[in-house]
A = this chain, B = another copy of it.
Amino acid sequence: MHVTEMLDTNPGKKIFASEPLSQCIEACFDCAQTCSACADSCLGEPKLDMLRRCIRLDQDCADICLATGKVLSRQQLADVRVVRSLLEACLCACAAAGDECAHHASHHEHCRICTESCRRCARACRDAIAALGAPAGTTH
């Protein structure tokens, strides 16, 4: 991906430091792809019945990660509260999908890889929230 190069050539002021930002953007697109593929792999398993919740949470996670990846790719005139609340939703979706996939990781290799991808994205969201700083109006 060209995430860092695109950040470096953007004429706007970064919404937060370049490194946690580029890592979070990459993790979001990776997690969206992995979750889409994992939901589809689950759909092809013989014991599909046990994987309903995994399919559900993977789909939610893919949708939220894509929205987050797109919003973070923009540097112009952001609203910090929108960015922070979306990062929190993304962290929550990655934690939920990652925990569910972890239950199936010993039976399905796609769930094991997806767990990793979700956890990496959850960490990247947490680091991004920290890099954004405390919410306005918070006592320090």
Which residues in A have some Cβ–Cβ distance to B below 8 Å? 1-3, 5-7, 9-12, 25, 29-30, 32-34, 36-38, 40-41, 43-45, 48-49, 52-53, 55-57, 59-60, 62-64, 66-67, 69-71, 73-79, 81-82, 85-86, 88-89, 92-93, 96, 108-110, 113-114, 116-117
Contacts and interface: CB of A to CB of B under 8 A. Distances in A.
A33 B6 CA distance: 9
Given A33-B6, A43-B52, A70 B77 contact: no
Contact of A44 (B5, B11, B81): B11
A94 to B, nearest CB: 9
15 contacts: A2-B33, A2-B117, A7-B37, A9-B110, A29-B32, A33-B73, A36-B70, A40-B56, A41-B75, A53-B76, A59-B70, A63-B66, A63-B71, A66-B66, A79-B93
A29 B67 CA distance: 13
| A interface majority secondary structure | helix
A60 B36 CA distance: 11
Give the copy number: 4
Give the 5 A-B CB pairs with smallest separation, nearest first: A6-B37, A67-B67, A85-B89, A40-B74, A9-B109
